[in-house]
Chain A
Amino acid sequence: MVRKGAKFMNTFDKLSARYTPVIGLEVHVELNTKSKMFCECDNNWFGAKPNTHTCPVCLGLPGALPVPNKKAIEGCIKIGMALGCDIPLISKFDRKNYFYPDLAKGYQISQYDQPFSEHGSITLSSGKKIGITRAHMEEDTGKLMHETVNGQHVSLIDFNRSGSPLVEIVTEPDFESAEEVKEYLQKLRAIVRYLGVADGDMEKGGMRLEPNISLRAEDQKELPNYKVEVKNINSFNFVVDAIEYEIKRHTEALEKGETPKQETRGWDEDQHRTISQRSKEEAADYRYFPEPDIPPFVWTKEYLDGLRKELPELPDAKKGRFVEQYGLTNYNADLLTRTDAMSRYFEEVVKIGKEQLVDAKTIANTIINKKIDTETVLPAELVKSIVALSQVSGVSDEELQTVLKTVLTHNEKSVADYKAGKTNAIMFLVGQAMRELKGKAKADTVRTELEKLLS
């Protein structure tokens, strides 16, 4: 994206230094359960013909009643556990009442004051902790489509999505930059994917993002007295763009001595800016009350312990282990643990490679540098090719030995230095040999072979 006005940007950078962004985030994660949240409808409706994955419950027909999906609730609790949340022993659903054509019942079943999980955190690479206020369960709405049918502008409703399970994860206003938000989102997505409870597929609306943004003056301790929410963003990059756009917009307003209006805005992808949607005065009163159709949940400690045991090793833990156990760099360990599949692949290759004396670091480098397609290259094949690559190509062993011996004979001083303990001297010998070999052998191999000859 091209940002207009370099001159302006300079001024902006100077001004923004006087303010600290205060950013919180709400993320809706769609769970990949087999059936929907409160009915038995197939939850795999993406791309299906409108209104083909519906029943009286998710259509909100008269008389229909919600029956909670146990798998979905467990998914929500597992997310909560993975985020280090407390899981209260008592929880319940509530009704959030508002009118919108895509809301079948005139209310959304959500959780108000007793969510399945609360008070957790995600630690960024900088060591900074982002507080998680809560991770609660709710149902998705239908989808409105505005189209022209027979020359008439009409709004159509597709209820396929209605009643899909969503987990809403709300953070404290702990972010201070768009970059922090992006890293948090990457970590969050990795976690839900590791758990296997969600696909986190942005194109399919699997994660929907709502940052709230305000600026605090450098000398200000308390939270700003306004907050701008940007609704329903479906890409990490757009979140970054929207946050940066808002920071700029707020800075300008504050510099003029104005307080930005408390409001809800939307991200306009085409115009690359946020657009006002709803002001605070119009803010809805959702008239929450306990959902009478679903009895409250009372968990036992044993039940929750059982769920906790089902949690897989999560990205941060795995990353730490990779550094510890395989001596990987933080950077490599991070790359290899971004997806559960990648980390499993790496460990599979390491296991096979061990028998052939291929070390984990070489494997890590190969997977990362050669961008190995983990879906098509079998672990055993990869080990084979690493072994092959490490052997000298282009020169026979015999030829190599001849060249190396010649080099040693012609450089007696370096040989003596090396034998006297100046191990650096070997680098000179490697260089000489490489020159003779004209790059037909690998430096690693040459060095190893020289060391053998010198020992």
Chain B
Amino acid sequence: MYGLTIAQARKKLDNKEISAVELTKASLQRLQSLDKKLNAFLTVTEETALESAKKADERIKNGDSTPLLGIPFSLKDMYLTKGIRTTAGSKVLEDYIPQYSSTVVEKLETAGAVLIGKNNQDAWAHGSSGENSDFGSTTNPWNTELVPGGSSSGPAVAVAAGIAPFSMGTDTGGSIRQPAALTNIVGLKPTYGRVSRYGTIAMASSFDTMGHFTKTVEDSAMVLSVTAGKDAKDATSSPKPIDAYTKDIDTSIKGLKIGMPKEYFIDGMDEKVKEATMSAIKKLEELGAEIVEISLPHTQYAIDIYYVLQTAEVSSNLARYDGIRYGNTREFFGDEAKRRIMLGTFVLAHGYYDAYYKRAMKIRTLIKQDFEKAFEKVDVIATPASPTTAWKIGEKVDDPLAMYLSDVFTVTGNVAGIPGLSVPAGFVKNLPVGMQLLGPMFGEKLLFQVGRQYELATKWYEKEPNL
């Protein structure tokens, strides 16, 4: 019963072929049997999961049929869960039990989704491989000697391994799209301000977005329809009404203009990944889209300014973990957190602010303008999601710069605030490759349409890892 998409499970639940309790038990069994190998979960909430599943069954019995009712899911350990340990993957919060739940968690609970556990991740969402977790690396279901990508390593693997039909991650520089690409699943980074950040541990506040992993684009649209919307508790959440995301996803993409930015097909990236992405874009052309070569001239600065601005915000956001209130002292911060605190403190220091932070903000504006101009010419932009496929655990841990570069194609989306969708786009040497679709602000609906048409034509998502 595991490995179902949300849409498939929804149908079975509504037809009373299965119950939410059965579905939840199957998820928990799959979790127990695989997690020694995958290390994707930090906390399993079996008891509360079965309780929520029972409640969901009651609601289904009473004719309720909301999209996520009775569907098991898991959360990156950045999402606060009232009464359930929330660690951010860091030993600093090893025993921290929040007094409140994040808005997203409340929305999912209200929708009747069933939380089965909290996922492993790079500590504080710092990383692109999952190896920065203070609770051990998560492994890639396609080859457990490889990283699954990060920082939302656990949530990606929970879906890729068929444990949960969907999971919530956070994407600050690519932390959803990149692991989705490396594990053959769909990852959505929504527009900044589309999904409330309230109650999710902050990494870099002006970049953080609350997105999710699913097996299909259709499922992704279903989840966003629940999580999106204005939240009175998040001043940066947008009052813009949410679209009917699942509507029109079956509409042909004929006549849509898809931009192919030359800066995203660069020397030094994996040639095979480049080829796979090119052929994915070719597929879009076959489906009737018009491919337009475009330029996003400031792309090359994105990683640099991201590591100025993001670390500045990190250094401030981590200040509250000062050893007074959350159990463990600052000694418990790992190397990467310390590195970012130091970098961020430096770029904000008196006398350096103008040279680093202020200049970086100016370039941020230029990158935003690059996209604004591009979206005057094209509807959607297609790029590779990651310059490489999954790599060996340990391969880049001593080279933070190489690690930072694995976000080179995704980080621009966070800098600009635009939405990005990573969809499975084939395999290179039996390892998944992802295509990233970028849209204009609040253009999620369009991304779902293009992604859905592509997945229906290719069905890459049907290929599952051999576990």
Contacts and interface: CB of A to CB of B under 8 A. Distances in A.
Interface of A: 56, 60-68, 95, 97, 99, 101, 104-107, 285, 287-289, 292-295
Interface stretch (B130-138, B195-203, B274-282, B394-402): B195-203
B319 A106 contact: yes
B16 to A, nearest CB: 38
Contacts of A65: 197-198, 233-236
Interface in B330-345: 345
A361 to B, nearest CB: 54
B320 A63 contact: no
Contacts of A107: 316, 319
A295 B193 CA distance: 11
Nearest to A97: B316
A104 B86 CA distance: 19
Contacts of A285: 349-350
B205 interface: yes
17 contacts: A56-B100, A61-B99, A63-B98, A64-B198, A65-B235, A67-B233, A67-B234, A67-B235, A97-B316, A99-B322, A105-B320, A106-B316, A106-B319, A287-B350, A289-B313, A294-B236, A295-B235
Interface string B88-103: 1000010010111010
A110 to B, nearest CB: 13
Contacts of B80: 62-63
Contacts of A104: 320
Interface string B163-204: 000000000000000000000000000000000011111101
Contacts of A292: 204-206, 236, 313
A64 B103 CA distance: 10
A105 B319 contact: yes
Contacts, number: 88
A66 to B, nearest CB: 7
A106 B202 contact: no
B205 A293 contact: yes
Contact of A68 (B100, B235, B348, B350): B235
A99 B319 contact: yes
Interface string B372-410: 000000000000000000000000000000000000000
B236 A293 contact: yes
B428 interface: no
B202 A289 contact: no
Interface of B: 80, 86, 88, 93, 96, 98-100, 102, 197-202, 204-206, 232-236, 312-313, 315-316, 318-320, 322, 324, 326, 345, 348-350, 353, 357
Q: Which of B102, B198, B201, B316 has the most CB of A within 10 A?
A: B316
Nearest to B234: A65
A28 to B, nearest CB: 22
A294 B80 CA distance: 21
B316 A62 contact: no
A289 B316 contact: yes
A235 B19 CA distance: 69
A289 B98 CA distance: 28
A99 B424 CA distance: 45
Contact of A63 (B200, B232, B324): B200
A415 to B, nearest CB: 84
A67 B197 CA distance: 12
A285 B234 CA distance: 29
Nearest to B237: A65
Contacts of A99: 319, 322
B235 A62 contact: no
Contacts of A295: 235-236
B348 A289 contact: yes
Contacts of A97: 315-316, 319, 348
A60 to B, nearest CB: 5
Contact of A64 (B199, B312, B324, B357): B199
Contacts of A68: 235
Given A285-B349, A287-B345, A106 B235 contact: no
Nearest to B199: A63
Contacts of B318: 106
A166 to B, nearest CB: 19
A63 B201 contact: yes
Given A63-B200, A289-B316, 18 more contacts: A60-B320, A61-B100, A63-B80, A63-B201, A65-B233, A65-B234, A65-B235, A67-B235, A68-B235, A97-B348, A105-B319, A106-B316, A106-B318, A287-B316, A292-B313, A293-B205, A293-B235, A294-B236
A292 B310 CA distance: 11
A66 B198 CA distance: 9
Contacts of B357: 289
Q: Which of B198, B200, B204, B353 has the most CB of A within 10 A?
A: B198
A38 to B, nearest CB: 9
A207 B318 CA distance: 32
A287 B324 CA distance: 22
B208 to A, nearest CB: 9
B235 A287 contact: no
Contacts of A66: 235
A452 to B, nearest CB: 73
A60 B99 CA distance: 12
Contacts of B324: 101
Q: Which of B197, B206, B319 has the most CB of A within 10 A?
A: B319
A286 to B, nearest CB: 8
A333 B206 CA distance: 53
Nearest to A96: B316
